[in-house]
Amino acid sequence: MDLSTLKPAEGATKDRKRIGRGEGSGQGVMAGRGHKGYGSRSGSKKRSWFEGGQMPLQRRLPKFGFTNIFRKQYQVVNVGSLENLASKKEITHEVLLANGLIRKKRLPVKILGEGELTVKLTVKVDAVSKTAKEKIEKVGGSVVLS
């Protein structure tokens, strides 16, 4: 046995439809395209969202929502995650990035208060929640907003 003798299993494949090969084939004359019209012509394509001229779904549904163009998107880090960085005394963007707690250096960072902290740290970030600030200062640390 070698690769040249491999064949699909019995019944796994079907013969393809031979379209437009005479009336006797059952797929001659119009070749399965129906009578006149856009779909019968060569080069015709129906977009997947086309609904036959009916008012499309995205136009039938009402608009909704609002996008605030002045929104500031923060990268969020919890106080509990800072516990793992006990060896570092000063927490900055670079330290957070190096330890995989944030993904992008340019986006602002906000510290949130979930989790517990037992080590004294100086945290230099863009924003901090009230509870996070309390937890950091309770263990003798400090928060510097940049």
Q: Is the pLDDT of residue 127 over 90?
A: yes
Which residues face 122 on adjacent strands?
90, 142
What is the Cα–Cα distance from 115 to 57, expressed in whole angstroms?
A: 46
Q: Which domains does the chain have, with CATH numbers?
A: 19-52 (no CATH), 75-145 (3.100.10.10)
How confident is the model over 39-77, as pLDDT tens digits?
899 998 888 889 988 999 999 999 999 999 999 999 999
Please give the average per-residue pLDDT across 12-31, as a whole number: 91
SS3 91: strand
pLDDT at site 110: 96
Helices (H), the chain: 57-60, 79-82, 93-98, 130-138
